[in-house]
Chains A and B, each alone.
Chain A
Amino acid sequence: MSTTRLAWAAGLAILIVLPFITPTYFLHLLIQILIWAFIYTAWSLMGRFGFVSFGHGAFMGIGAYVPALLWSYWNVTPWLGIPLGVVLSGLLAIIIGYPCFRRRVIGHYFALVTLALSQVVLLSLIAAREITGGSLGFTQRAVGYSWYALQFPEKSYFYAIAVLLWLFGLAVWRRIDRGIGREALEAISEDEEAAASVGIDVLREKMRVTVISAALTALGGAVYGQYVMYLNPETVSGIAVSLQIVFAAIAGGVYSLFGPSVGALLTLSLTEGLRVWFGANFVGAANTIYGILLVLCIIFMPQGIVGTLQRPKGSSARRDIAWNWRKG
C-alpha cells in the first residue's frame, strides 16, 4: 500500500470515527465546513483556469431555495426539488456563460457580470417576499425525522451526507484534474487563440467546467438549506456569499485537491473561533479581524495557503492566482 493510500485510509477512518467522539457543537461546525469545502471546491473547478466567477452566490441561492420553497409550499419532496434546483442552476450557468465566452467577456468584465448575477438572484429572492420572507428569511416546514422530506434532527445523518458530498466534490475535481480536459483548459487559460488553433473546442471545454461548477454549487446550497432549515437571502446568495466563496477558495489555494477544503477549514474555524472568543458583546469584532487577515493573506501569500506551502506540481512554474486574467 502506498503512503498516499495509507493517508487516505487514515483520513477516512478519522472522518468515520469523528461523529462518535465529538460533541454536537463540533459536529455542527464540521458539517458546515464540509458543505462549504464542497462549494469552494466546486468554485475552484472554474477558478483554477482563470474564470473568476463572482456569481456563485447565485447558484448556491437557487440550489438552496428551489427545494426549500417547493417543499414548504407545494409539498414537493426535496428528492425532486434538489435535482430541479441543480438543473436550473446549470441552465442559468449556460445562459450566462455561453454569451460571456462567446463574446469574450473576460477579466474584470467577467467578474462584474457574474457579480451582477449574484445581485439579480439576491434581489429577486428578497422581492419575492410573500413566499421567501424577504430579507427576514424563512424557516422550512419541519416534519421531524423523514427520508421523504430529507430532514433529520440527528446531526449524524447530515454529517454522513456532508462527508459523502465532500468526497464526491474531490472526486469530480480529481477527474477534471486528471482528464484531458485539464490540459485543454490550461492551454485555453494560457492562450485562447493558440488553443483553438491546435483543435481544442474552447467554448465546449469552458462551458463544461462552468456548468459542472454551477451545478455542484447548487447541490451544495441545497444540502446546506436542508441542514440549517432557516434560509436567508443574505446567507446563501448575493455579493457577500460570492466574495466569501472566492476568498476562501483562493486563501486555501485552487491548484491542489485539498486547497479549497483547507480554505474552508481555516476560514470557518477562524470566524467561529473569533465569534466564540469575542462573544455576543462585540458584534463585528470577529469579521473585523477576519477582514484584516484576508488583506494580509492576499498581500503576503498570493498563492494561497496550500499553494504557498507546496508549489503546484505538474505545471511547476510559479503562477499568481489569476494566471491568465487579461486586463479588460
Chain B
Amino acid sequence: MDIYLLEAVINGILLGGVLALLALGLNLIFGVVDVIWIAYADIVMCAMYAIYFLYTGLSVPLPLAFLIAIIGAASLGVLVHLLIIAPVLNSAPLNQLLATGGLLFFLQSFATLLFGTDFRNIGVRLPVLEFATIYVSFARLIAFAVGLIGAIALYGFLKWTYLGIAIRALAQDRDIVGLMGVDPRRIYLVVSAIGGGLAGLAACLLALQYDVHPFIGNTFGPVIFMICVLGGLGNMIGGFVASFIISQIIAIGGYYSSTELSYVLAFTFFIVLMFIRPRGLFAR
C-alpha cells in the first residue's frame, strides 16, 4: 500500500474522532428534544473564540481556557434551549429548524461584528509524530483519543446513571416519563448542556488544528448533519460509525483530488445512500 495513502487513511480515522464527538452531541439533542440544531457548529465556533481570547488575550493557561470554554459552551446550550427551543417546542418541525437557522445567522454575524473576519490561531504548535515513516499530527492524535474517551464516557453515563436512563426513556416515550417522576423540562436542559459541552470539547480539539473565524461552522456543520442522518437521526451508535465512514471518504478523496472535491464526493455519497436507505444506514 502506498505510504501516503496509508497516512491519509490514518488521518481520516483521527478526523473521525472529532466528528464523532459532534455527531454524538447533535444526535443526543435530536433524539431527546427532537429538534435539529442547525446552529450546532456555530456553538463550536463561539467556544473556539473563547479559547482564543482566554489563551492569547488574557494569558489563561490552556487547560483552564479549555475548561472555561467547555463550561461556557454548555451554558450556551442551556441558553439556546431556554430562549429559542423551548418557545417552539410544540411548533411544526420546520419552524424549529428555522429558529435555530436564525440563531446561525445571529451567531455568525455577531462574531463578525465583535471579532471581524480575520482568521485567528491560538498559535500552539504540537509536534508531528513519525511512526515508521508515517507522519501523524500529534494534535489529531489527541483529538482522536479525547473524542473516543468522550464517546465512551457519554455511553457510560447514558447506560448506568439514573439521569442517563431517564434521558433514553424520554427519547423513547416523551409523554409518560412524567409518570416515572422525571421532569421532562429538566431533562431537556441537561441534554442541551451536554450537547453544548460536547461542542465545547470539540472546540478545544479543533482549536489545536484550525484557525477560528466567524464562518468556520459552515465548513463542518453540514458534514455533521450528514453524518447524523447517515447514522439514522437520533441513533448515537449509528452516528458514531458514520463519522468514521465519512471521514475516510474525505481523507482518501482529499488524497486523490482536492479538499473541496473530497467533500463533494462525501455529500454525493450521502445523497445516493439516502436513496438506498432513506432512514440512514443504521435505521432501526
Are A and B in contact, CB atoms below 8 Å, in the complex? yes
Binding site for B on A (CB under 8 A): 52, 96, 99-100, 102-105, 107-109, 111-113, 115-117, 119-120, 123-124, 126-127, 238-240, 243, 246-247, 250, 282-288, 290-295, 297-299, 302, 320-323, 325, 327-328
Contacts of A298 in B (CB 8 A): 88, 91, 95, 98-99, 102
Chain A CB within 8 A of B34 CB: yes
Q: State whether B98 touches A294 (Cβ < 8 A).
A: yes
Among the listed A52, A284, A297, which residue makes an inter-chain contact with B113, where contact means beta carbons less than 8 Å apart? Answer: A284
CB proximity of A93 to chain B, nearest CB, Å? 13
Among the listed A113, A126, A283, which residue makes an inter-chain contact with B117, where contact means beta carbons less than 8 Å apart? Answer: A283
Q: State whether B271 touches A299 (Cβ < 8 A).
A: no
Contacts of A327 in B (CB 8 A): 34, 93
Chain A CB within 8 A of B13 CB: no
Contacts of B111 in A (CB 8 A): 284
Q: Which 10 A-B pairs have the closest CB atoms?
A: A291-B106, A284-B112, A287-B109, A322-B94, A294-B102, A291-B105, A284-B113, A127-B260, A320-B92, A295-B102
Interface string of B268-284 (1 = CB under 8 A from A): 10110011101100000
Q: State whether A109 touches B106 (Cβ < 8 A).
A: no
Among the listed A111, A283, A290, A323, which residue makes an inter-chain contact with B97, where contact means beta carbons less than 8 Å apart? Answer: A111
Are A288 and B268 also in contact (CB < 8 A) when A119-B263, A321-B95 are?
no
Q: State whether B226 touches A295 (Cβ < 8 A).
A: no
What's the Cα separation between A291 and B98 when bound, in Å?
11
Please name the residue on chain B nearest to A114 by beta carbon.
Answer: B271
Contacts of A292 in B (CB 8 A): 102, 106
Q: How large is the interface on B (under 10, 10 to 19, 20 to 34, 35 or more residues)?
A: 35 or more
Q: State whether B110 touches A288 (Cβ < 8 A).
A: yes
Q: For A100, A240, A284, A287, which residue has the most chain B Cβ atoms within 10 angstroms?
A: A284
Q: State whether B214 touches A284 (Cβ < 8 A).
A: yes
Chain A CB within 8 A of B84 CB: yes
CB proximity of A127 to chain B, nearest CB, Å? 4
Q: State whether A105 touches B98 (Cβ < 8 A).
A: no
Please name the residue on chain B nearest to A323 by beta carbon.
Answer: B92
Q: List 15 A-B contacts (CB under 8 A).
A: A105-B275, A112-B229, A113-B274, A126-B260, A286-B109, A287-B106, A287-B108, A291-B103, A292-B102, A294-B106, A299-B87, A299-B88, A302-B92, A302-B95, A320-B91
Contacts of A238 in B (CB 8 A): 218
Q: State whether A287 touches B117 (Cβ < 8 A).
A: no
What's the Cα separation between A108 and B278 when bound, in Å?
11
Contacts of A294 in B (CB 8 A): 98, 101-102, 105-106
Contacts of A243 in B (CB 8 A): 38, 101, 104-105
**A119-B263, A124-B264, A325-B93 given. 12 additional CB < 8 A pairs?**
A108-B229, A111-B97, A123-B264, A246-B101, A247-B101, A283-B112, A283-B117, A291-B104, A292-B106, A294-B98, A295-B99, A320-B94
What's the Cα separation between A169 and B159 when bound, in Å?
55
Binding site for A on B (CB under 8 A): 34, 36, 38, 84, 87-88, 91-95, 97-99, 101-114, 116-117, 214, 218, 221-222, 225-226, 229, 233, 258, 260-261, 263-264, 267-268, 270-271, 274-276, 278-279
What's the Cα separation between A123 and B34 when bound, in Å?
30
Q: State whether B101 touches A109 (Cβ < 8 A).
A: no
What's the Cα separation between A285 and B275 when bound, in Å?
41
Q: For A117, A285, A288, A320, which residue has the most chain B Cβ atoms within 10 angstroms?
A: A288
Contacts of B113 in A (CB 8 A): 282-285, 288
Q: State whether B94 touches A120 (Cβ < 8 A).
A: no
Contacts of B97 in A (CB 8 A): 108, 111
Among the listed A103, A240, A246, which residue makes an inter-chain contact with B98, where contact means beta carbons less than 8 Å apart? Answer: A246
What's the Cα separation between A135 and B260 when bound, in Å?
11
Q: State whether A124 touches B92 (Cβ < 8 A).
A: no
What's the Cα separation between A246 and B263 when bound, in Å?
24
Q: State whether A124 touches B260 (Cβ < 8 A).
A: yes
Among the listed A100, A103, A119, A284, which residue makes an inter-chain contact with B267, where contact means beta carbons less than 8 Å apart? Answer: A119
Please name the residue on chain B nearest to A287 by beta carbon.
Answer: B109
What's the Cα separation between A250 and B95 when bound, in Å?
9
CB proximity of B61 to chain A, nearest CB, Å? 31
Among the listed B225, B264, B274, which residue makes an inter-chain contact with A105, where contact means beta carbons less than 8 Å apart? Answer: B274
Q: State whether B98 touches A108 (Cβ < 8 A).
A: no
CB proximity of A96 to chain B, nearest CB, Å? 7
Contacts of A105 in B (CB 8 A): 274-275, 278
Among the listed A126, A287, A321, which residue makes an inter-chain contact with B94, where contact means beta carbons less than 8 Å apart? Answer: A321
Contacts of B87 in A (CB 8 A): 299
Contacts of A285 in B (CB 8 A): 109, 113
Contacts of B225 in A (CB 8 A): 112, 115
CB proximity of A232 to chain B, nearest CB, Å? 13
Contacts of A107 in B (CB 8 A): 93
Are A247 and B226 also in contact (CB < 8 A) when A116-B267, A120-B271, A322-B94 are?
no
Contacts of A117 in B (CB 8 A): 267, 271
Contacts of B214 in A (CB 8 A): 284
Q: State whether A127 touches B92 (Cβ < 8 A).
A: no
CB proximity of A268 to chain B, nearest CB, Å? 15
Q: State whether A108 touches B110 (Cβ < 8 A).
A: no
CB proximity of B272 to chain A, nearest CB, Å? 9
What's the Cα separation between A104 and B258 when bound, in Å?
33
Contacts of B267 in A (CB 8 A): 116-117, 119-120, 123
Contacts of B221 in A (CB 8 A): 239
Among the listed A111, A240, A297, A322, which residue makes an inter-chain contact with B218, where contact means beta carbons less than 8 Å apart? Answer: A240
Contacts of A322 in B (CB 8 A): 92-95
Contacts of B268 in A (CB 8 A): 120
